[in-house]
Amino acid sequence: MRRAAILATAALVVVAGAAARAVRSPGALVTSAPPVATVAQDTRPDRGDWLRARLADAPAGSVLVVPAGRYLGPFVLDRPLHLRADGAAHLQGDARTHTVAVRAADVTVEGFEITGSGMDLSKDHAAIHVTGARAVIIDNRIHDALHGVYVRQADDVRVEHNTILGTETAQAPLDPFATKASPTGGELCDIDLNQNQRGNGVHVWNSRRVQVARNTIRHTRDGVYFSFVDDSDVRGNLVEGVRYGLHYMYSDHNRFEDNRFRDNAAGAALMSSKHILLRRNVFEANRNHRAYGILLQTVEFSTLDRNRIDGNTTGVFIEGGTGNLLEGNTVARNHVGVHVSDSSDGNRFTANAFVGNLHAVETSGGTFSSSWARNGRGNYWDDAVHLDLGHDGIADLPHRELDLFGRLRRNFPSIGLLAGSPGERLLRFVHARLALPGVPGVVDPAPLVSPDQP
């Protein structure tokens, strides 16, 4: 009886044209089977067998040019070769596994549309799954897949100039008692995938000397995910509309340059790593209640150089950070410019410009071990007293940046209504000229008089 009632309800939902909405609702029917990616229809004849035959016959080191057409996979590249599309060649997966599996070293995949991987996060399904060293993944358009490019224990891989679009809509069984008539069993209906159900744009694990360059990544779970990845470069990428633009753990000696991370839940979340260089990146409009432009958690001896951190909830959040250098960054129009926890030690701030932030600095206790000047040069503060009788670009008076509400701002968000009030402005005016006892904040002993000083 219960089964009949459930099936009758599902049938009525379909007739009403509201199946998708029913699956999205908290009371929707669910199964443990992973969803199937919804792939845009390509009605061209399938030439997958032709391509598999060519791959089986191709000599190692050869160039295999694939003409325009639809090629139903999956495909396994088990010898060194250059697989290149000539025109609109579409590699379409079977929704059960990786669309393209690169298993040999020295493989290049260039110029394809690639869709239709499996959607099982426990199996790391991907449009392109790489375990071969020195692979080159270039100029592809990837969509309707779980992970875009997944690199696993493969050194010297290059992922360049690809467009990777995350799967926002997938399919799931409408009938919880479904058979195996479809990849997940039973009839399918479209559902919306939240970000936790999606894969990452570029996911790299346990690899070295990886290059991720000039890619456009949108609507995945995380844009670029590194775990146990060393000596690698990420440069010139655009990442937007994801959870973390850059998610990064246990990875050392890496460089991130000239990337743009915008409109994400967080621009970058860097954790448990050291000797990282972030240079000339843009972190903008990463907003929600606890969003960050850059989160540094237990990050050591790293450098943030000439980044623009603009319009975020918190521009830079440092927790448990040791020996990091922040130099020449523009921290502008954030709710909180920089948060430094009392668990951080020996961080240095110099030549940064703090402009238009609602709260330039937030502290969680004593921050006495952080230095707000280096080699006699502090930072630019838009509300500082810019008196420079010596005309050397350094203000004659130290700047005291008040943090009146401190950690109360986190526990009582409504206290932010007092920001910018006449009382707070008066306290800032007084504190900038005469240190008030017991008031938290930081002291810049050599503030700059211009935000454009090198």
Distance CA 214, CA 233 (A): 11
Token output for 159: 């992922």
**pLDDT by residue (tens digit) across 159-168?**
999 999 988 6
Over range 442-448, report the average pLDDT.
Answer: 91
- Exposed / middle / buried, residue 46 (Cβ in 10 Å: 0-12, 13-18, 19+): middle
Token output for 67: 């003409």
Percent pLDDT > 70 in the chain is: 75
Distance CA 283, CA 337 (A): 12
Looking at per-residue pLDDT, the higher value among 37 and 225 belongs to 225
Q: What angle do CA 180, 184, 188 make, to 5 degrees?
A: 105
Residue 404 pLDDT > 70: no
Distance CA 285, CA 304 (A): 19
pLDDT number for residue 286: 87
Most confidently predicted of 11-25, 42-56, 356-370, 387-401 = 42-56
**Phi, psi of 128, rounded to the nearest 5 degrees:** -130, 115
pLDDT band at 14 (very low <50, low <70, confident <90, very high): very low
pLDDT band at 67 (very low <50, low <70, confident <90, very high): very high
**Which residue in this structure is represented by tokens 């029917």?**
29
**Phi, psi of 197, rounded to the nearest 5 degrees:** -90, -5
> CA separation (Å) from 123 to 129, 269, 301, 440?
11, 24, 35, 49
Token output for 351: 């030549």
pLDDT number for residue 322: 93
pLDDT number for residue 13: 34
Q: Which of 162-171, 336-345, 441-450 has the lowest mean pLDDT?
A: 162-171
What single-letter amino acid sits at 92? Q
**Which residue in this structure is represented by tokens 């701030």?**
349
The conformational region for residue 420 under phi > 0 = left, psi -120 to 50 = alpha, else beta, is left
pLDDT number for residue 29: 34
Enter the pTM of the model.
Answer: 0.81
Over range 172-196, report the average pLDDT.
Answer: 54
Long-range contacts of 80-83 (CB under 8 A, 24+ apart): 80/104, 80/105, 80/106, 80/107, 81/55, 81/107, 81/108, 82/107, 82/108, 82/110, 83/55, 83/107, 83/108, 83/109, 83/110, 83/112
**Which residue in this structure is represented by tokens 């069984």?**
173
